[in-house]
Amino acid sequence: MASIFGFRSRDPARDRQADVSRLDRLAKLFEQIAAEIEAERTGLENRYRTTSTNAAFLVEAMENGSASDKRSSEVSALTQSILNCERRIAALSRQDGMMKELRHSLDMVFDEDADSAASAEFAWPAGAGRG
């Protein structure tokens, strides 16, 4: 049977170092994912603008009679592509917002841990008032 007097806790500084390292890795992961989301959204927005411009010119050409009505299937395809882009951009915006919320939550956890460590480190002696 193990004695309760043989139990030793880790040094709080070592615990703090492990926590900081873990939170730092998580923060870097959030930043990496946010960068991926932003890159995808930027590329998609560029394609969206190009597709919208092409669709507008095609519709104008059809209205002016310089393009055949047979090209209406192209307009439909471009319209569907534009709608898909809009949906995806909205989804990416939601994901970006979630990454920002998660990053903020992580900062809050880190701040709470820092406050706890500071409070423990500078704890008032028993019976002493805080003023």
For residue 67, the domain's CATH number is 1.10.287
Residue 18 has pLDDT above 80, yes or no: yes
Q: How many structural domains does the chain have? A: 1
Mean pLDDT over 36-45 rounds to 97
- Is residue 123 assigned to a domain? no
Distance CA 11, CA 80 (A): 61
Query: Mean of the pLDDT values across residues 103-122?
Result: 69
More confident residue, 114 or 112: 112
Query: Comparing 109 with 89, which gets the higher pLDDT?
Result: 89
User: How confident is the prediction for the chain on average, in pLDDT?
Assistant: 84
Q: Does 2 map to a domain? A: no
Domain for residue 49, yes or no? yes
In a domain, 32, yes or no: yes
Residues ≥6 apart with Cβ < 8 Å to 86: 48
Which range marks the domain in which residue 73 is found?
24-115
Mean pLDDT, to the nearest integer, of 75-85? 95
Decide if pLDDT at 126 tops 50: no
* pTM tops 0.75: no
3-state helix, strand, coil in the chain (%, to 5): 85, 0, 15
